[in-house]
Amino acid sequence: MSRQRFEHVIRQDIHNNPIVREVDRTRQREFRRWGQIGVLLVTVLLLSAWLHFEILQHGYRLEQMQQELVRELEINRHLKLEIETLRAPARIERIATERLRFVAPGNGDATVLERVVPAAEPDRSLVATRRGETTYAGRP
């Protein structure tokens, strides 16, 4: 190669700037459609994962509450048993005689109380009495 030819190859300017790509509308539409489908699928997957997580959390909470219910029922049974033990007549009699030094009554120590009959109801027209004044229904 001659020197002149070599310089000609080096100096040759190639202008690529005016090349403009044409926008392919069909391809853009298809890209958007697939993008929307992808976003929809990701949303559905995230929603289903979230719901699954919530169901698991509620299951754990339900199991915890059932265990708590069993514990509370056991405490309730224990407290009812303790109440019945404290209400036992033999225990009450023992405390009364030993600690409080009560004496068991004999046969002659019993007193019979007569039933008191309530007094007759006052007249319905009498409403109230105040410092010597009587107020009747219907009159001041």
20 vs 73, higher pLDDT: 73
In percent, the amount of the chain with pLDDT more than 70 equals 73
97 vs 106, higher pLDDT: 97
Please tell me the predicted confidence (pLDDT) of residue 123: 64
Please tell me the predicted confidence (pLDDT) of residue 111: 80
Q: What is the mean pLDDT of residues 102-126?
A: 77
Task: Report the distance separating Cα 6 and Cα 34, nearest Å.
Answer: 52
DSSP count for the chain of H helices, then E strands: 3, 2
Chain-centre distance of CA 112, in angstroms? Answer: 57
Contact 137, 124 (CB under 8 A): yes
pLDDT tens across 7-42, in order? Answer: 555 656 666 666 677 888 999 999 999 999 999 999
Residue 4 in tokens: 């002149």
Task: Report the distance separating Cα 29 and Cα 38, nearest Å.
Answer: 14
Please tell me the predicted confidence (pLDDT) of residue 139: 46
Confidence of residue 121 (pLDDT cuts 50, 70, 90): confident
Q: What is the mean pLDDT of residues 80-89?
A: 94
Q: What 3-state class would DSSP assign to 114?
A: coil
Q: What is the mean pLDDT of residues 48-75?
A: 97
Task: Report the distance separating Cα 92 and Cα 96, nearest Å.
Answer: 6
Task: Report the distance separating Cα 46 and Cα 57, nearest Å.
Answer: 16
Please tell me the predicted confidence (pLDDT) of residue 131: 64
